[in-house]
Amino acid sequence: MERDFGAIIHPIIDPLVENPSAIMIRQLPTNSKKDISILIVAEDADTARLIGKRGAVANALRDVIGVAGKSDGSNVRIHLKFESFTEGEEETDGK
């Protein structure tokens, strides 16, 4: 059964941003069944909030979402990528 990680991520990130209705969360294709790559697209300022200084917020989000990938025993690795609507800049987890 494929899990809806968007439904898991939205309640976590919505309180952190100014415009939660503008957040788009998409699962990207990967080459491995053990890896899930999730793209989070937001407005400029909200993307900055989600990444945080030196990536602190992004790393914390990865830790929390990583637990969701392991909670059902499937041991899935979840990779979060952040992108802005206007700049197109991306920050990945480098894993």
Q: pLDDT tens, 15-60?
A: 999 999 999 999 998 898 888 899 999 999 999 999 999 999 999 9
The residue extents of the domains of the chain are 5-89
Q: According to CATH, what is the number of the domain 5-89? A: 3.30.300.20
For the question of whether the overall pTM of this predicted structure is more than 0.85, the answer is no
Identify the sign of the CA torsion 10, 15, 17, 22.
positive
pLDDT at 89 over 90: no
Quote the pLDDT of residue 75: 80
Confidence bin at 93 (pLDDT 50/70/90):
low
Q: How far is CA 82 from CA 4, 75, 86, in A?
A: 18, 23, 12
Beta bridge partners of 61: none
φ and ψ at residue 40, rounded to 5 degrees: -115, 115
pLDDT at 71 over 80: no
Strand 77-84 and strand 90-91: the pairing is antiparallel
Confidence bin at 2 (pLDDT 50/70/90):
low
pLDDT at 88 over 50: no
